[in-house]
A and B are shown apart, each in its own frame.
Chain A
Amino acid sequence: MPVPILKQGGILIASIQTAVTDQDLVQLQDDLADKVGRFRSRGVVIDVGALDVMDSFATRTLRNLAQALKMRGATTVIAGIQPDVAFAMVELGLTLDGILTALDLEEGLGMLTMPPQEDGHSVG
């Protein structure tokens, strides 16, 4: 089942609703790269709150996606990683270094709509 993508102002929201297949994730990658260009979006929030497993494939795909979207001029926030999932990822040796993360969708949206701070501190 493809991941639905919503447009809210200059931000795209991809809400992963249920366990996704590898194919769905690859599809999401293509869809977001396309829509960022079409809607001239500056920010993307990927809500993974419904995922009960983030294995090495899912993590690598989301990390690559965030890096590719950055090259297209958009900032990506991965939001809603569940506590158990976070521990399993750490145990696996997976990281999201250099990728913005947020507790949930609301926080993620906040990070993208907050004006950049003058003193050089990164938001979040």
Chain B
Amino acid sequence: MAEETQSKAPETGAAPAASQQGGPGGSERGPRPGGRPGAGGPGGRGKFFRRKKVCKFCTEKIDAIPYRDVRLLQGFVAERGKIVPRRLTGVCTTHQRRLTRAIKQARNIALLPFATKH
């Protein structure tokens, strides 16, 4: 269990899906106006906000997340049907909450599965 938490810690620093040299390397080398994604994201200004991933909904100015839009929702659902946590997708809190609501509504109307077996 200790190993798990240790291996998770460096991951939360940088987006694991995107290619990176590791958290610290990315924040030094990346554009220091990481305040740019900050403006798009939750408006965080701290130097420790080295999250390069920006909230897709904030940048593209998508207002509504309808439960009917299965293709949009499927991007945030894992293979087994679980909802992907926002530290992996980079979504901001408000949109993650709306997204979760939409996914659960879609699950109820059989547009998305509750759980799939491998």
Instruction: Check if A and B associate.
Output: no
A residues within 8 Å of B by Cβ? none
B residues within 8 Å of A by Cβ? none
